[in-house]
Chain A
Amino acid sequence: MKNVRVWFKKDDECRYISHLDLNRVMIRAIQKSRLPVWRTEGFNVHPYITFSLPLSLGFRGERESMDMRILDDKLKLDVIKVELNKCLPHGLEVFDVTEPKIKSGAINSAKFKMRLSTDDISVEELYSKFQEILSSDEILVDKKTKKGIKKIDIKEYFKDAKHYDTDHDIVVRVTLPAGSTTNINPTLLVNALQEKYAIEVYYDITRVDVFDTEGRPFE
Chain B
Amino acid sequence: MIKSKLEKILLKVQKPGKYVGGELNAVIKNKDEVDVRFAFCFPDTYEIGMSHLGMKILYSLFNSKPYIWCERVFAPWIDMEEQMVKNDIPLYALESMDPISEFDFIGFTLQYELSYTNVLNMLKLGNVPLKSSERTELKNIVVAGGPCACNPEPIADIVDIFFIGDGEEVDLEVIELFRECKKSGKSKEEFLYLASQIKGVYVPALYDVTYNEDGTIKSFTSKREGVPEKIEKRVMMDMDKSYYPDNFVVPNVEIVHDRAVEEIFRGCIRGCRFCQAGFLYRPVREKSVDCINEQCHALCRNTGYDEISLSSLSSSDYTQIVPLLEKLSEWSVDENVSLSLPSLRVDGFSEDILSKIKSVRKSGLTFAPEAGTQRLRDVINKNVKEDELLDTCLVAFDGGYSTVKLYFMIGLPTETLDDVKGIAELGQKVVNTFYKAENRPKGKGVRVTLSSSSFVPKPFTPFQWEPQDSIETIHTKQAHIRENLTTKKISYNYHDADTSFMEAVFARGDRKLNEVLIKACEKGMHFDGWSDCFSLKKWLEVFDECGIDPHFYANRRRSFDEILPWDHIDYSVTKEFLINECKKAYENETTPHCREKCSNCGAMKHKGGVCFEKRSCMV
Contact = CB atoms under 8 A, between A and B. Distances in A.
A13 B303 contact: no
Contact of B336 (A39, A43, A58): A39
9 contacts: A13-B17, A14-B252, A18-B253, A24-B258, A28-B306, A31-B305, A45-B336, A89-B23, A119-B8
A198 B305 CA distance: 46
B602 interface: no
Contacts of A202: 7-8, 11
Contacts of B306: 28, 31, 46
B22 interface: yes
Nearest to B23: A89
Interface in B1-50: 7-8, 10-11, 15-17, 19-24
B313 interface: no
Contacts of A30: 304
Nearest to B362: A43
Interface in B244-282: 250, 252-254, 258
Contact of A32 (B21, B252, B304): B304
Interface of B: 7-8, 10-11, 15-17, 19-24, 250, 252-254, 258, 301-306, 335-336, 361
Interface string A88-124: 1111000000000000000000000000000100000
Given A28-B250, A32-B303, A204-B7, A21 B23 contact: no
Contacts of B19: 16
A171 B302 CA distance: 41
Contacts of B15: 18
A87 interface: yes
A204 B15 CA distance: 17
Interface of A: 12-14, 16-18, 20-21, 24-25, 28-34, 39, 43, 45-46, 57-58, 87-91, 119, 202-204
Given A13-B22, A21-B253, A87-B24, A32 B17 contact: no
A32 B20 contact: no
Contacts, number: 74
Given A32-B302, A39-B336, A89 B250 contact: yes
A89 B17 contact: no
A123 to B, nearest CB: 15
A28 B303 contact: yes
A13 B21 contact: yes
B17 A16 contact: yes
Contact of B304 (A13, A17, A29, A43): A29
Contacts of B11: 57-58, 202-203
Contacts of A33: 304
A64 to B, nearest CB: 15
Contact of B252 (A25, A46, A119, A204): A25
Contacts of A21: 17, 252-254
A29 B24 CA distance: 9
B168 to A, nearest CB: 27
Given A24-B254, A28-B250, A31-B336, A90 B8 contact: no
> Which of A12, A17, A21, A87 lies at the interface centre, i.e. has the most chain B CB atoms within 10 A of its CB?
A17
A89 B305 contact: no
Nearest to B24: A89
A89 B336 contact: no
A13 B94 CA distance: 11
A40 B297 CA distance: 23
Nearest to A25: B252
A13 B20 contact: yes
Contact of A89 (B16, B22, B254, B335): B22
The 5 A-B residue pairs whose C-beta atoms are closest, nearest first, are A13-B22, A32-B304, A28-B304, A16-B16, A17-B17
A91 B304 contact: no
Given A32-B301, A202-B8, A16 B336 contact: no
A16 B10 contact: yes
B336 A14 contact: no
A105 to B, nearest CB: 28
Contact of A20 (B254, B304, B361): B254
Given A14-B22, A16-B10, 5 more contacts: A16-B16, A21-B253, A46-B306, A88-B24, A89-B22
Contacts of A29: 24, 304
A90 B25 CA distance: 10
Nearest to B19: A16
A45 B302 CA distance: 19
A168 B470 CA distance: 61
A172 B333 CA distance: 51
Nearest to A45: B336
A73 B23 CA distance: 32
B464 to A, nearest CB: 43
Nearest to A31: B304
B26 to A, nearest CB: 8
A58 B24 CA distance: 19
